[in-house]
């Protein structure tokens, strides 16, 4: 449930919080260490620390054996880990003993997307996934009462990744984002990063990871900056916020920035942002940019829209069609040329067009992406399968 590891923790918290309104109480069982201090919207059981490989915990399977029959429903969030294997073993064990086991729901959170099998930069993981699919994962998916997805694009793409994908039922229930606080938090971000005061900037917010397309964005920024500088137009600075700058990939990005006089002066790494500081970064930006190679949903994209900000994204973010339909920003391919187009279109948009996209972003968030609706969809999925 560590928020530094990505959007799954956000989704689990959101669903758990609002399911309380339907008189459904939730227990979140994780292999996080027992001394965690991050926010969880339900009863939390920590059975870690776990191994780095496979997230194995010796405490996990015994806990399931002792407690799984206490529940009506089990939801598995995420796949490819020991939790799948142990959960399947326990459910089969009790089913053989004619025990009434809880209904199993699986939410892959984008982890069945073809991107992970096709990316040349993830070849070893693709081989591992292929083997694990045959041995374990296919059974988990096909024996679940229902497989739940956060977007229609994710649901359709996931059906094409592996042979033998035959779930009993699939549903797109969506995912929501809570309403942000009012605009006052802008000062919280500037207090932490005073050198950005009175500075125009575009915001990227997410994990520093190879799938996020940050390399391509940096290359594109270098190209577009020189183009508009020649036209005496200043491209806004680029703020890159999120955990992971200390990783091998993060260090590669720092090296890339250091090699360019343009990037050194205009790229700012803000680290991980949370709470009022994060919302302040959203409110203070001109627009939000995400050059990602894959997002099953795109939580930070929707958070920006909730703050009335236009979004510049790739067509590998599974809610891109909603962005196009709502005229909330621009959508392009997930390569350098696509990022050049995103930056160029933003710089070429006049004040009236930008204002219209801002208004549309907020309107689309309110109509489609508020968290209450997604949880209501989940509730109806759970009830209809009981």
Q: Provide Rg for the chain, Cα atoms.
A: 22
3-state DSSP of the chain: CCHHHCCHHHHHHHHHHHHHHHCCCCEEEECCCCCCCCCCCCEEEECCCCCCCCCCCCCHHHHHHHHHHHCCEEEEECCCCHHHHHHHHHHHHHHHCCCCCCEEEEECCCCCCCHHHHCHHHHHHHHHHHHHHHHHHHHHHHHCCEEEECCHHHHHHHCCCCCCCCCCCEEECCCCECCCCCCCCHHHHHHHCHHHCCCCEEEEECCCCHHHCHHHHHHHHHHHHHHHHHCCCCCCEEEEECCCCCCHHHHHHHHHHHCCHHHHHHEEEEECCCHHHHHHHHHHCCEEEECCCCECCCHHHHHHHHCCCCEEEECCECCHHHHHHHCCEEEECCCHHHHHHHHHHHHHCCHHHHHHHHHHHHHHHHHHHEHHHHHHHHHHHHHHCC
For residue 380, the Cα-to-chain-centroid distance in whole angstroms is 23
Contact partners, residue 374, CB within 8 Å, separation at least 6: 14, 15, 150, 173, 174, 175, 176
Residues 51/64, Cβ–Cβ less than 8 Å = no
CATH code, 186-369: 3.40.50.2000
Q: Residue 122 has what pLDDT?
A: 78
Q: What six digits make up the tokens of 231? A: 């036209």
pLDDT for res 63 = 97
Homologous superfamily in CATH for domain 3-176+372-384 = Glycogen Phosphorylase B; (3.40.50.2000)
pLDDT tens digits, 188-246: 999 999 999 999 999 999 999 999 999 999 999 999 998 887 666 789 999 999 999 99
Q: Give me the pLDDT at residue 249, please.
A: 94
* Backbone angles phi and psi of 106, in degrees to 5: -120, 135
Tokens of 214: 């940050």
Domains 3-176+372-384 and 186-369 share a fold: yes
Q: Which residue matches tokens 């020189």? A: 226
Cα four-point dihedral sign 339, 345, 348, 352:
negative
Q: Domain locations in the chain? A: 3-176+372-384, 186-369
Q: Please give the structure tokens belonging to residue 96.
A: 């053989």
What is the spatial distance between Cα 188 and Cα 85, in angstroms, rounded to a whole number? Answer: 44
Closest CA to 249 of 240, 238, 237, 262: 240
Task: Report whether 77 contacts 7 (CB < 8 A).
Answer: no
pLDDT value, residue 44:
93
Count Cβ atoms below 10 Å from residue 99 Cβ, excluding itself. 11
Rounded to 10 deg, the angle between the 82-96 and 60-67 helix axes is 30
Kindly give the parts of the chain with pLDDT less than 50: none
Instruction: Determine the pLDDT at residue 10.
Output: 87
212 touches 291 (CB < 8 A): yes
115/108 Cα distance (integer angstroms): 14
Phi, psi of 37, rounded to the nearest 5 degrees: -130, 15
């Amino acid at each position: 449930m560590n928020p530094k590891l990505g959007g799954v923790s956000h989704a689990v918290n959101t669903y758990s919080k609002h399911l309380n309104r339907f008189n459904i109480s939730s227990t979140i069982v994780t292999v996080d260490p027992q001394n965690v201090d991050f926010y969880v919207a339900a009863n939390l059981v920590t059975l870690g620390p776990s191994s780095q490989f496979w997230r194995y915990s010796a405490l996990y399977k015994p806990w399931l054996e002792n407690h799984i029959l206490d529940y009506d429903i089990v939801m598995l969030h995420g796949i490819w880990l020991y939790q799948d294997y142990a959960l399947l073993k326990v459910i089969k064990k009790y089913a053989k003993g004619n025990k009434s086991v809880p209904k199993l729901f699986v939410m892959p959170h984008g982890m069945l997307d073809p991107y992970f099998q096709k990316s040349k930069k993830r070849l070893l993981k693709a081989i591992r996934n292929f083997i694990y699919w045959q041995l374990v994962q296919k059974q988990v998916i096909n024996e679940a009462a229902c497989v739940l997805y956060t977007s229609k694009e994710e649901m359709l793409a996931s059906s094409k990744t592996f042979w033998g994908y035959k779930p009993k039922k699939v549903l797109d229930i969506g995912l929501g984002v809570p309403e942000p606080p009012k605009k006052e938090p802008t000062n919280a971000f500037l207090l932490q990063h005073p050198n950005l005061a009175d500075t125009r900037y575009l915001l990227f917010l997410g994990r520093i990871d190879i799938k996020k397309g940050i390399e391509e964005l940096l290359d594109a920024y270098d190209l577009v900056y020189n183009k508009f500088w020649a036209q005496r137009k200043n491209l806004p600075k680029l703020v890159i916020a999120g955990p992971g700058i200390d990783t091998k990939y993060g260090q590669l990005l720092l090296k890339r920035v250091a090699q360019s006089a343009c990037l050194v002066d205009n790229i700012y790494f803000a680290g991980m942002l949370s709470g009022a500081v994060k919302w302040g970064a959203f409110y203070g930006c001109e627009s939000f940019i995400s050059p990602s190679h894959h997002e099953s949903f795109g939580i930070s994209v929707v958070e920006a829209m909730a703050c009335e900000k236009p979004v510049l994204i790739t067509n590998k973010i599974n809610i891109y069609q909603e962005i196009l339909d709502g005229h909330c920003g621009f959508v392009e391919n997930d390569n350098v040329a696509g990022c050049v187009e995103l930056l160029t279109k933003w710089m070429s948009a006049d004040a009236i067009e930008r204002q219209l996209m801002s208004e549309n972003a907020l309107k689309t968030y309110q109509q489609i992406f508020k968290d209450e609706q997604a949880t209501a969809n989940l509730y109806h999925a759970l009830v209809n399968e009981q």
